[in-house]
Amino acid sequence: MHFNPSIVIKISGKFFDEDGSRNISSLRDVVRNLSSSFRVAIVSGGGSNARKYINMGRDLNLSESYLDLLGIWASRLNANLIAFALGDIAYPVVPDSLEDFIEKWSSGKVVVTGGFQPGQSTAAVAALVAEATNSSTLIVATNVDGVYDKDPKVYKDAVMLKELTINKLKEILENSQSVKAGTYELLDPMAMKIIQRSRIKVIVMNYRYISSLSDLIKDNKNIGSTVIPE
């Protein structure tokens, strides 16, 4: 029996905040196209809804675990929106754990998920999902064009790197990561550890180009940054 190769698409929560319905429509079209050649899993971040509830919870002195739960539920709401938009090619229920994801993945359908548990970013979830599905590639669709040698929002002379190693990415992110709820950006240390141990290639791209995803995967279109596993 022939099995299509698997890919995982990690969608930033910001994807829902800026022209979200159009972004989801573009994602739906590209996933429908990809699903004839690939098994596709999608992991969604929480976006502004997550930040809104986390900020309110922090004002109420809730614990980081409770704040994480609020972010997880927001990410699952976004995941449900994508799953509903995909219609019959998607599994209709969003998983709430890795075990649950694996069970739903066996259906053969596209599976869309959000967060799994407190203390774990959706970037780490995406890495776990890529590992569990034996995916060779993890697409990180975010609001920057790729990986820069330093923060492009702070430094005007920041240079985008077309290709880099996971160790170089660790070095760049080492001093800029926060582990508080709602503050994960790009890939956190847990996600990078999973990516490294399973040698998963990561492509970081701007979700504005999501409609070009098929070309990027199939023809190595010149978009974003490629993080090479070591």
Q: pLDDT for 20-51, tens place per residue?
A: 999 999 999 999 999 989 999 999 999 999 99
Q: Rounded mean pLDDT of 184-188?
A: 70
Stretch 82-95: mean pLDDT: 97
Question: Mapping DSSP to helix (H, G, I), strand (E, B) and coil, where does residue 22 land?
Answer: helix
Task: Report the relative pairing of strands 6-11 and 137-142 from DSSP bridges.
Answer: parallel
> Are β-strands 201-206 and 137-142 bridged in parallel, bridged antiparallel, or unpaired?
parallel
Which residue in 41, 202, 185, 204 sits closest to 121, CA to CA? 185
C-alpha–C-alpha distance, residues 129 and 97, integer Å: 10
**pLDDT exceeds 60 at position 60:** yes
**Tokens linked to 122:** 């959706």
Distance of alpha carbon 24 from alpha carbon 27, whole angstroms: 5
CB 94 within 8 A of CB 60: no
Specify the residue for token string 């599905």.
133
pLDDT at residue 4, rounded to an integer: 82
pLDDT at 214: 82
pLDDT surpasses 60 at 168: yes
Q: Which DSSP helix (H) or strand (E) runs through 226?
A: strand 225-228
Q: What is the pLDDT of residue 185?
A: 60
* Spatial contact of 7 and 37, defined as CB atoms under 8 Å apart: no
Sign of the alpha-carbon dihedral angle for 137, 28, 83, 117: positive
Whether residue 220 is predicted with pLDDT greater than 80 in this model: the reply is: no
Given a cut of 80, is residue 176 above it in pLDDT?
A: no
Alpha helices by DSSP H, listed for the chain, are 20-34, 47-59, 64-86, 98-105, 122-132, 166-173, 189-197, 213-219
- The band of 183, judged by pLDDT with boundaries at 50, 70 and 90, is very low
Residue that the structure tokens 């190595």 belong to: 220
What average pLDDT is seen over the chain? 90
pLDDT for 149 equals 85
Amino acid at 79: A
Percent with pLDDT over 90 in the chain: 68
Per-residue pLDDT, 229 = 82
Compute the distance between CA of residue 155 and CA of residue 184 in angstroms, rounded to an integer: 20
pLDDT of 219 reads 65
Residue 68 · residue 118 · CB < 8 Å? yes
Let me know: does 81 contact 16? Beta carbons within 8 Å. Answer: yes
- Range from 15-24, 50-59, 128-137, 169-178 carrying the lowest mean pLDDT: 169-178
Helix (H) or strand (E) holding 112: strand 111-113
